[in-house]
Amino acid sequence: MSDSHDATVLGIDIGTTSAKAGAFDADGDETGAAETAYPLLEPQPGWAVQDPVAVTDAVVGVARTALAGATAAGVAVAGLSFSTALHSLVGLDAHDRPITPLLTWADQRAAPQAERLRVERPHLHGLTGTPLHPMSPLAKLVWFREEEPALFARARRWCGIKELVVHRLTGEWVTDHSVASATGLMSLADLDWAPEALEVAGVSVDRLPRLAGTEHVLALSAEGARLLGADPALPLVLGAGDGPLANLGVGAVRPGVAACSIGTSGALRLVVERPVIDRAGRVFCYALSRGRWVVGGAINNGGVVLQWAGDALAPELGEHSEKALLDLAAQAPPGSDGLLMLPYVLSERAPHWSTLPRGAYVGLTRAHRREHLVRAALEGVCQQLALVLASLREAGNEIREIRATGGFARSPLWRRLLCDVLGFPVGFPENHHGSGFGAALLGMEALGLIETIERAADLIAIDEVLEPDPEAAAVYAAMLPTFDALYDALTPAFRALRDVARAPDPEPPVRR
């Protein structure tokens, strides 16, 4: 096998709002980088959709551009491999034409169906590894079956965005185990479509793509080669989901090494050697590659909470309020003098997986000031990740190392908060790669160009390791059980407030 610069694979990352592509070698060096954006549409409250044809065209176009750029630079590309945003769904007719928009992970229309499944079929989470949440294609299919029965009956095939792209390039309908493990329709135990989940969704196997491993290699069709401007012999590796592949980008691929990220949202994930779900159903479990799975949880509320705090608490700071807000938060002590914030400004995913929760301050007194409110918001984001970490441990996983990345890492205060709230040393990589590099590494392993994707662990140097401050960590450890308990305590209030928000406007008074 070769571990040299000759081992170059085009990694293509199909994101929620943009597609990126670049030719990576085994050392992480990139050539021919290209990116293009596409809109996320919200035609109704809670809906988050895209034009599937426009996204497919954009992905193929960015791949062609990156491949041409690498070729012009004298780089011989050995294959291409995919990363993709998980949980997307589109319905196709008998001629494989889309008859629905592309529903993204952010689409919340299936919240009632997901909530009902959590009560009626809670074991499906353990069976499939996918939380019973409106993001999952399972819940979306139930929504279509119940709310759009005529359209549901017309759909000859259901798939996600990567399957559309792969079909455009190869002519085959096939999905990888990683993407399938995030649909809520595949059994973790036997890597096949789960009969009970299909029954709940109301679909048969012949309406879904066939399943294959993430390292499965396909041949380009003549049309696919033409679209890419590629040699028809260029192999295509299916690849995996963006979350699991993101662990490769920070070198968190060996057992016991967790990857934590806080951008607009956040996540904490761990690679394991066998599928595992905690009994409480608080973490997901998605496939990565042969003998590798990723368990963890994503949260909706990361940097968006700081943005909210700026808009709501300090609007006079304007667009460039981030540093001023962080300086303000630094004036309050750890624990914000007994103030907690549930940071659910965009509802929440892990570890409760529900659209019910709303944000709340608890413990507010006359003595609290803006600095307390802002700091409590940041602490709340970190406390939510601490619940995900606890859930990983409760599922039987040992955590030996945590590597953290994301926009939050620019702030020394947020770095410190995360470390102290988790009560665990946190390493910050000197540099890291995204899911596209993870896809390229997986492609290299599939094509026999490198021995193992564990190579990622040796490529990422840690720039700084923070140790928890004992006093601050003790404060947060004492507050975390209360933070955790507030979700259950406030669930009736969350439900009542949701019902009020959904209630029709009252009739205007009749003038006499």
Work out the pLDDT band at 378, boundaries 50, 70, 90: very high
Work out the pLDDT band at 507, boundaries 50, 70, 90: very low
The rounded mean pLDDT for the chain is 94
pLDDT at 26: 92
- Rounded Cα distance between 476 and 74, Å, is 54
Work out the pLDDT band at 503, boundaries 50, 70, 90: low
In this prediction, residues 355-379 reach a mean pLDDT of 97
Work out the pLDDT band at 321, boundaries 50, 70, 90: confident
In this prediction, residues 450-463 reach a mean pLDDT of 91
In this prediction, residues 412-441 reach a mean pLDDT of 95
* Helices 470-502, 412-422: inter-axial angle, 10-degree rounding: 90
**What are the b/e assignments for 125-134, b being 16+ CB within 10 Å?**
bbbbbbbbbb
Torsion region of 176: left, alpha or beta (phi above 0 gives left; psi -120 to 50 gives alpha): beta
- Asked whether residue 338 carries a pLDDT value surpassing 50, the answer given is yes
List residues bridging with 192 in a β-sheet.
187
Work out the pLDDT band at 431, boundaries 50, 70, 90: confident
**What CATH superfamily is the domain 252-431+469-501?**
ATPase, nucleotide binding domain (3.30.420.40)
CATH number for the domain formed by residue range(s) 9-244: 3.30.420.40
Q: Which residues of the chain are in CATH 3.30.420.40 domains?
A: 9-244, 252-431+469-501
Q: What is the pTM of this model?
A: 0.94
Task: Kindly provide the residue ranges of all beta strands, DSSP E only, lying in 89-206, ordered along the sequence.
Answer: 90-92, 102-103, 157-159, 174-176, 186-187, 192-193
Answer positive or negative: Cα dihedral of 225, 35, 51, 49: positive
- Asked whether residue 389 carries a pLDDT value surpassing 60, the answer given is yes
pLDDT at 182: 98
- Asked whether residue 276 carries a pLDDT value surpassing 90, the answer given is no
Number of CB atoms found within 10 A of residue 311's CB: 11
Q: Give the closest residue to 30 by CA, choosing from 8, 4, 60, 1.
A: 8
